[in-house]
Amino acid sequence: MRYRNLGTSGLEVSVLGLGTNAFGGRADKDTSLRVLRHALYQGITFMDTANIYTGTKSEEIIGEAFEGRRQEVILATKAGMKRGEGPNTKGSSRQHIISELEGSLKRLRTDYIDLYQIHAFDPKTPLEETLRALDDLVSSGKVRYVGASNYSAWQMMKALSVSERQQLIKYVSVQPGYSLADRGVERELVPFCADQGIGIIPYFPLAGGILTGKYSGGSVPSGSQLEKNPNFAKRMDTARLELGDRVASIAAEIGTSATALSLAWLMHRPAVSTVIAGATRESQIDENLKAVSLDLTPDVLQALDEASAEFIYAPPFGSAPLRK
């Protein structure tokens, strides 16, 4: 395994992380426990979850998996999405952030979170309030680093400006949807992060499986996102499916898999610190790990860039706006 600093912070994370939004859902508890422990055995230390994943089951399972081994993993969770009915059940107010952190700590069976992330920009709460609350949590020792998810470049810049002006803790990372099939963040967010030393943590790195080649020829594999979630079909446009075929072709030419190639491409992008790929089987962890040692030549990188260039300006593959 290779490790990188998360942005310009001192926190080292595995270049391949584990996304856990399927745990307790598409992957049952026993399977999820095996996948988590296998990932750690293989050197994957960065575990990303959120308080809303599978109705809190993801955090609960992670807490059980690493009880007694807390120091071996980097736990990243999030707050901000809707958690119930009524007031103060969503957003990034002091009230909501602190309440949700306490719940996450209990479910994860820990007394601190390595990376606490605001899940989406909240236009109704002043950034000063959000960042002051996060600063207090870091001072208390319950949180070590803070980051954002689904923020645009201007939102990140505003947050950094507030932090500097008010002498508050700064975001060290941001999580956007980012893959060969979803390159819109390269227009503004990626250059901003490279300039400001913010670590990028791509989610949907395989575009829901499109970049694994498993949907080649219009097939719908058993257990796939498309089979489990018919709404996923609206993301399966012709251009992205054709890209999946092209990536698989390039991968075959260099003797690797489309999965490994797609993940490795992200690992070669500016400012990317760790790539969070989900897994519902131990074999998927092993397949994803091939990307870590895959050194892509300039010719291969150019071929991938050219094949996916249209997705710099295409609509995003997926996002997670603040739920109303």
Q: Which CATH entry fits the domain spanning 12-175: 3.40.50.300, 3.20.20.100, 3.30.360.10, 1.10.40.50? A: 3.20.20.100
Characterize the bridge pairing of strands 12-14 and 3-5: antiparallel
Extract the runs of DSSP E, i.e. beta strands, from 85-203: 113-118, 143-149, 171-175, 199-200
Radius of gyration of the chain from its Cα atoms, rounded to whole angstroms: 19
d(CA 290, CA 287): 6
Quick one: pLDDT band at residue 86, thresholds 50, 70, 90?
Answer: confident
Q: CA triplet 217, 222, 225: central angle to 5 degrees?
A: 80
Catalytic site residue from 3, 53, 171, 215? 53
pTM of model > 0.85:
yes
Beta bridge partners of 16: 275
Q: Is 67 exposed, middle or buried (0-12, 13-18, 19+ CB in 10 A)?
A: exposed
Active site residue 145: no
- What pLDDT shows up at residue 218? 59
> Which pLDDT belongs to residue 237?
84
* Rounded distance between C-alpha atoms, residue 225 and residue 85, angstroms: 28
Q: Per-domain residue ranges for the chain?
A: 12-175
Assign 143 to helix, strand or coil. strand
Is residue 215 pLDDT above 90, yes or no? Answer: no
| Residue closest to 101 by CA, chosen among 45, 51, 151, 167 | 51
124-179 tens-digit pLDDT:
999 999 999 999 999 999 999 999 999 999 999 999 999 999 999 999 999 999 99
